[in-house]
C-alpha cells in the first residue's frame, strides 16, 4: 500500500465505489419481472437476461412482450384516458409533482440501478440523468397546470406509444412520459431491451404515488415488441433510436393518421474556430464525445478545427485524453464506463477498423478488456472516409481541419444528419453567425450536451422531426381545435395527353418554374375542367422545379420584413386584376385570396421565437427556421383560395415551394403566377407543376432535396407518407375544408411551415462546470 507522501507525489485516485447493496437486494427480491399494465405487474412470461455490462453478471430476467401484451396495455390506456383527461390540468399537475418528488427521494437508488444496468459512470447517472429526469416532471407539472390557458381549445391526442433507447433509460422515459401525461394522454412505453430495469422501478413509483390505473403502462421486450406497439391502435408514436428503425416506423405508420415524433441518429459537428478558448474546447470534447462512452446521439463526434490552431488543439486534446480513467462504472473516479452490450462494442471496433483502412490515423488505444472501449479520435478523416458519415456511437471522434468559416459551414452541413452542433469561438458574432448557417436542431455555443426540459430538442433531415421539451414539445401531444372538413373531390379532368382543338390564336398555358413559363418536359397537355389545355407535368418537371427552388435561397435569408413587403405587394397587384380574375375564378375566391395574402404578410415579421428559462448564465433562444424547399399538393377543390392558403404561409416563413395545383382547374394558379411576375416575387420561390396529382405528389415525396411536404386530401396520402421515409421529411396531411373560412389560416399553418432551432449561448462569468451537461 503506498504511503501518504507517495500518493501526494503521484496524485493517483484511490477506489471510491458506490454501495450497491440496496439495489442488489431489490433485484434479488424479484429475479423474474413481468410487465406493468393497468396499474399492476403481470406474471413473468418468456424471459431474457438483463446483465451488468461492466461485469457480465446477471441482474434480472425480464419478460419478452408479445402482441397480446401490447394489446392489453393499449386497452388499459384507452380505458383510462377519458378519466385522466377529465381530471383537469391541476389534478394531473399534482400527480406529476408527486412523481418528481418521489424520484428525488430515490435518487441514489435509481442512480446505482441505472449504472448497473447501463454501464455509465455513477457520476453521470447521479449528477445528470436522474436530476434531469426530476426536472422534466417538475417542468411538465407546470404545463399541466396552465395548459388550459396556454393551449385553449386543444385536447389530448389519446393513447401515445413510446419507444426509448438504452443510452439514457430513465431520462428518456421522463422525457417522453412527462409531456404526454401532462397533456392528458395515457401511454404505453417500451424500454430498450438492454436497459429495462429503471423503467420497472419507475412503475413502482407510479404505484407509490397512486397514479390512476392505465395512465402509464410499461411493456418490456426487444424490437418485435416495439414493432407490435407501432402497429397497435395508438394515436401517436414517439420514438428515439436509430435512423434505420425510424425510417421503418415512418413507413409502417403511413396512412394511419398516427402522429409521429422521431428523434434519430446524428453525426454532429464540433467546430473550433481560430479564436476559440482551446482549453475550454478540449473540455467540451470530454463533455461531448467522451460523455456516456460516446453513446449519445447528439455527441460532437466530428471535430472540425481551424487549421491555424489545430496543432495546439491536438496537443491539449492528447494531454487530456491521457488523463481519462476507464474503469468500473460504480467507482466515483471513473470517467469512461462500460459499453452497454458486447454487440455494441463489437460494432464500434468494426467501424473503427473500416475508418483506419480508409486512411485515418488512430490517436489512442480503443480496444480494452471486457465490454469497454478506450477513448480516442481519428485524424485525417476526409468526407470520403466511411466514418465521416457513419454514426460510431462510441467514444471515438474524427478530426478534420478547415481554413475559412465558409469551409467550416460546408463541412458541418456535409452530412445526412442534422441533430446538434457545437461551436467554439470567443466572438459572439462569429458563433451566432455559424449557428444560423449550420443545419441542426440544436446548437451549443461554447458548451456541450446541455439539456433542459424547457429547451426543445430534436433534429432536421435524417435526424428526424418533431421536438421534445418545452412548449413545442408539449404541443406534439395535443390535437388542435377541430375544423369542419369536407371531402376533397376526386379529379374529373383526366391528366392524359390531348391535342389542341383551337381554331384561332390559342392561349398557351405553361408550367411556372424559376420565375418563368416553361414547356412541360413531355411536351404534352391535358384538358382541364374549364376546357383549357394545361401542361402535363412529369418527374423531370418536378426535378427542374426543385432545382429552381434550391437556387432561390436568398428568399430564406432576406428576413421577415422584406418578405412581408413582397406579400403585401402581391396582394396589391392581385387586387388590380380583381375584376378580370373574378370573372374567371369567382369574386369570392379572389377576394378571399387577397385577404389571405394580407394575413400572412402580417405574420411574416411577427412569428417569433422566444428565450426559455433554463440554467443561469445562458441565453437559450428557440428560433423558427424555414425548412428550405417544400412540396405542396393543393386541394382539388377551391383552385385559387386553396392554392393561396397553402403557399402563402410557407413562403411567408421563408420556404421556397414546388406546388401541385388543383388537377381539375390549375388555371387559377397559373393566372396568379402572372401576378407574381409583376410583384417582386423572386424566381424560384413559387414553382407550379400541373398534372396527375398522385404521381407528382409521389415524386415530390421521394425527392431527397424536398425537406418537407404538405398534402391535402386522403387519397394517396399513405403512398406519400411511405415515400417520405427516404430522407425522413415531415409530411403534414391536412383535410380539405372551406378554404375561405377563418380556420383555413393562422398559427397552425405557420407552425407546420417551420422547424424549431434551439441555440444555447452562455454569457457573463459562468460558475465552474456550468457549460457541460451537469447542473
Give Cα 506 to chain centroid, integer Å. 50
Q: Which residues contact 680 (CB under 8 A, 6 or more apart)?
A: 566, 569, 570
- Which of these ranges, 316-330, 485-499, 616-630, 725-739, has the smallest mean pLDDT? 485-499
pLDDT in tens, 158-202: 999 999 999 999 999 999 999 999 999 999 999 999 999 999 999
Which residue in the list 263, 391, 476, 721 is annotated as catalytic?
A: 263
pLDDT at 605 over 50: yes
pLDDT in tens, 430-460: 999 999 999 999 999 999 999 999 999 999 9
Angle between helix 107-118 and 197-208 (nearest 10): 160
Cell of 599: 394575413
User: Which residue, chain included where needed, has cell 491555424?
Assistant: 308
> Is the model's pLDDT at 504 over the cut of 60?
no
* Strands (DSSP E) found in 141-199: 155-156, 159-163, 186-190
At 496, the pLDDT band (50, 70, 90 cuts) reads low
Helix, strand, coil percentages (3-state) for the chain, rounded to 5, are 40, 20, 40
pLDDT band of residue 54 (cuts 50, 70, 90) is very high
Grid coordinates belonging to 652: 411567408
Give dist(CA 530, CA 669) in Å, integer: 13
- For residue 588, the tally of other CB atoms under 10 A from its CB is 13
What is the mean pLDDT of the segment spanning 29-39?
96
pLDDT reported for residue 268: 94
As beta bridge partners, residue 361 has 379
pLDDT for residue 773 is more than 70: no
Please give the distance of CA 715 from its chain centroid, rounded to a whole number.
Answer: 27
Residue entry with cell 437508488: 109
Dihedral of alpha carbons 174, 176, 182, 184, sign:
negative
Determine the Cα–Cα distance for residues 499 and 506; give it in Å rounded to an integer.
12
pLDDT digits (tens, 9 = 90+) for 554-571: 999 999 999 999 999 999
Three-class DSSP category at 44: coil
Residue 737 has, within 13 A of its CA and on its CB side, a CA count of 16
What pLDDT was estimated at residue 485? 85
Percentage above 70 pLDDT, the chain: 96
Q: Band of the pLDDT at 494, cuts 50, 70, 90?
A: low
Per-residue pLDDT tens for 375-428? Answer: 999 998 888 899 988 889 899 999 999 999 999 999 999 999 999 999 999 999
pLDDT exceeds cutoff 90 at 84: yes
Closest CA to 144 of 177, 170, 171, 172: 177
Contacts of residue 762, Cβ cutoff 8 Å, sequence gap at least 6: 445, 446, 447, 617, 618, 619, 770, 771
| Residue 12, burial from CB neighbour count under 10 angstroms (0-12, 13-18, 19+) | exposed
The confidence band for 15, taking pLDDT boundaries of 50, 70 and 90, is: confident
Residue 6: pLDDT band (50, 70, 90) is confident
- Cα atoms in the Cβ-side hemisphere of radius 13 Å centred on 13: 13
Region 104-126 average pLDDT? 96
Mean pLDDT computed over 318-334: 94
Beta-sheet strands, E only, within 559-662: 610-611, 618-626, 629-633, 656-660
Query: Which of 381-395, 598-612, 640-654 is least confident?
Result: 381-395
Q: Answer for the pair 300, 269: CB distance below 8 angstroms, yes or no.
A: yes
Q: List, in order of start, the domains of the chain with CATH numbers.
A: 21-264 (3.40.605.10), 269-458 (3.40.309.10), 511-605+627-751 (3.40.605.10)
State how far the alpha carbon of 235 is from the alpha carbons of 186, 290, 353, 451, 708, in Å: 10, 37, 43, 27, 22
Angstrom distance (rounded) from CA 763 to CA 397: 28
Q: What is the pTM for the complete model shown? A: 0.93
255: left (phi over 0), alpha (psi -120 to 50) or beta: left
Which residues does 44 contact at the CB level (< 8 Å), separation at least 6?
A: 32, 33, 34, 61, 63
Pairing of strands 259-263, 464-465: antiparallel
Using DSSP's 3-state secondary structure scheme, residue 690 falls into coil
Is 263 labeled as catalytic in the residue annotation? yes
Among 266, 248, 242, smallest CA distance to 416 is for 266
Q: Kindly state the helix (H) or strand (E) to which residue 220 belongs, with its residue range.
A: none
pLDDT of 383 reads: 84
- Give the containing element (helix H, strand E) for 303: strand 302-306
Question: Which of 578-587, 658-667, 681-690 bottoms out in mean pLDDT, i.e. has the lowest?
Answer: 578-587
Residue 503 has pLDDT above 70, yes or no: no
**Which pLDDT score, from 0 to 100, does residue 531 have?**
86
Q: For residue 89, how many C-alpha atoms fall within 13 Å in the half-sphere facing its CB?
A: 17
pLDDT, residue 669, reads 96
Query: Look-up: residue for cell 431491451?
Result: 193
pLDDT at 322 exceeding the cut of 90? yes
Mapping DSSP to helix (H, G, I), strand (E, B) and coil, where does residue 637 land? coil
- DSSP character at residue 155: E
Phi, psi (deg, nearest 5) at residue 240: -125, 125
pLDDT of residue 713: 86
DSSP SS3 for 476: coil
Query: Would the pLDDT of 774 be above 60?
Result: no
Q: Examine the pLDDT at 292 and tell me if it is beyond 50.
A: yes
Amino acid at each position: 500500500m503506498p504511503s501518504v507522501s507517495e500518493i501526494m507525489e503521484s496524485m493517483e485516485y484511490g477506489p471510491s465505489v458506490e454501495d450497491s447493496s440496496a439495489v442488489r437486494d431489490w433485484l434479488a427480491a424479484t429475479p423474474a419481472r413481468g410487465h406493468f399494465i393497468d396499474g399492476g405487474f403481470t406474471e413473468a412470461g418468456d424471459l431474457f437476461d438483463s446483465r451488468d455490462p461492466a461485469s457480465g453478471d446477471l441482474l434480472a430476467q425480464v419478460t419478452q412482450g408479445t402482441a397480446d401484451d401490447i394489446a392489453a396495455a393499449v386497452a388499459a390506456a384507452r380505458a383510462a384516458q377519458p378519466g385522466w383527461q377529465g381530471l383537469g390540468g391541476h389534478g394531473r399537475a399534482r400527480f406529476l409533482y408527486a412523481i418528481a418528488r418521489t424520484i428525488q427521494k430515490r435518487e441514489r437508488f435509481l442512480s446505482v440501478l441505472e449504472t448497473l444496468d447501463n454501464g455509465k459512470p455513477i457520476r453521470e447517472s447521479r449528477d445528470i440523468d436522474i436530476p434531469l429526469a426530476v426536472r422534466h416532471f417538475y417542468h411538465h407539472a407546470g404545463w399541466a397546470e396552465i395548459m388550459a390557458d396556454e393551449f385553449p381549445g386543444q385536447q389530448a391526442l389519446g393513447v401515445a406509444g413510446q419507444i426509448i433507447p438504452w443510452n439514457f433509460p430513465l431520462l428518456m422515459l421522463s422525457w417522453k412520459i412527462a409531456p404526454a401525461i401532462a397533456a392528458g394522454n395515457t401511454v404505453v412505453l417500451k424500454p430498450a431491451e438492454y436497459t429495462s430495469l429503471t423503467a420497472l422501478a419507475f412503475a413502482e413509483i407510479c404505484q407509490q404515488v397512486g397514479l390512476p390505473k392505465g395512465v402509464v403502462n410499461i411493456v418490456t421486450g426487444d424490437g418485435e415488441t416495439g414493432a407490435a406497439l407501432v402497429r397497435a391502435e395508438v394515436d401517436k408514436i414517439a420514438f428515439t433510436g436509430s435512423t434505420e428503425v425510424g425510417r421503418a416506423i415512418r413507413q409502417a405508420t403511413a396512412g394511419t393518421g398516427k402522429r409521429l415524433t422521431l428523434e434519430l441518429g446524428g453525426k454532429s459537428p464540433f467546430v473550433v474556430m481560430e479564436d476559440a478558448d482551446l482549453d475550454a474546447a478540449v473540455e467540451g470534447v470530454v463533455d461531448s464525445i467522451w460523455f456516456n462512452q460516446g453513446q449519445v446521439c447528439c455527441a460532437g463526434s466530428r471535430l472540425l478545427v481551424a487549421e491555424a490552431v489545430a496543432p495546439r488543439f491536438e496537443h491539449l486534446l492528447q494531454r487530456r485524453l491521457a488523463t481519462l480513467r476507464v474503469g468500473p462504472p460504480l467507482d466515483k473516479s471513473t470517467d469512461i464506463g462500460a459499453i452497454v452490450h458486447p454487440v455494441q462494442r463489437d460494432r464500434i471496433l468494426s467501424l473503427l477498423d473500416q475508418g483506419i483502412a480508409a486512411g485515418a490515423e488512430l490517436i489512442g488505444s480503443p480496444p480494452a478488456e471486457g465490454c469497454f472501449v478506450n477513448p480516442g479520435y481519428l485524424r485525417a478523416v476526409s468526407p470520403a472516409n466511411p466514418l465521416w458519415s457513419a454514426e460510431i456511437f462510441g467514444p471515438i471522434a474524427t478530426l478534420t481541419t478547415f481554413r475559412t468559416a465558409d469551409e467550416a459551414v460546408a463541412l458541418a452541413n456535409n452530412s445526412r444528419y442534422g441533430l446538434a452542433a457545437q461551436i467554439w469561438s470567443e466572438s459572439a458574432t462569429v458563433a451566432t453567425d455559424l449557428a444560423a448557417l449550420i443545419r441542426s436542431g440544436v446548437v451549443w455555443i461554447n458548451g456541450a450536451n446541455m439539456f433542459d426540459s424547457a429547451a426543445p430538442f430534436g433534429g432536421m433531415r435524417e435526424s428526424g422531426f418533431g421536438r421534445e421539451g418545452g412548449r413545442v414539445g408539449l404541443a406534439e401531444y395535443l390535437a388542435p381545435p377541430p375544423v369542419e372538413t369536407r371531402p376533397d373531390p376526386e379529379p374529373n379532368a383526366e391528366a392524359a395527353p390531348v391535342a389542341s382543338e383551337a381554331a384561332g390564336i390559342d392561349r398557351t398555358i405553361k408550367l411556372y418554374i424559376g420565375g418563368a413559363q416553361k414547356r412541360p418536359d413531355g411536351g404534352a397537355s391535358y384538358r382541364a375542367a374549364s376546357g383549357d389545355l394545361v401542361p402535363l407535368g412529369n418527374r423531370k418537371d418536378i426535378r427542374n422545379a426543385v432545382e429552381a427552388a434550391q437556387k432561390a435561397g436568398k428568399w430564406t435569408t432576406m428576413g421577415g420584413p422584406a418578405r412581408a413587403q413582397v406579400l403585401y405587394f402581391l396582394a396589391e397587384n392581385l387586387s388590380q386584376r380583381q375584376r378580370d380574375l373574378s370573372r374567371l375564378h369567382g369574386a369570392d375566391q379572389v377576394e378571399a385570396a387577397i385577404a389571405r395574402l394580407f394575413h400572412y404578410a402580417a405574420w411574416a415579421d411577427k412569428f417569433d421565437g422566444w428565450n426559455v428559462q433554463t440554467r443561469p448564465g445562458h441565453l437559450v433562444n428557440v428560433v423558427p427556421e424555414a425548412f428550405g424547399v417544400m412540396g405542396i399538393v393543393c386541394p382539388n377543390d377551391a383552385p385559387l383560395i386553396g392554392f393561396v392558403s397553402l403557399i402563402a404561409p410557407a413562403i411567408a416563413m421563408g420556404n421556397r415551394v414546388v406546388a401541385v395545383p388543383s388537377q381539375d382547374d390549375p388555371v387559377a394558379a397559373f393566372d396568379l403566377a402572372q401576378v407574381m411576375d409583376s410583384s417582386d416575387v423572386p424566381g424560384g420561390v413559387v414553382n407550379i407543376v400541373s398534372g396527375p396529382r398522385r404521381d407528382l405528389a409521389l415524386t415530390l415525396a421521394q425527392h431527397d432535396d424536398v425537406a418537407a411536404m404538405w398534402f391535402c386530401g386522403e387519397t394517396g396520402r399513405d403512398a406519400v407518407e411511405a415515400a417520405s421515409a427516404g430522407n425522413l421529411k415531415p409530411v403534414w396531411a391536412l383535410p380539405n375544408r372551406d378554404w375561405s373560412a377563418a380556420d383555413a389560416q393562422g398559427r397552425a399553418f405557420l407552425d407546420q411551415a417551420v422547424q424549431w432551432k434551439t441555440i444555447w449561448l452562455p454569457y457573463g462569468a459562468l460558475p465552474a462546470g456550468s457549460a457541460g451537461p451537469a447542473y
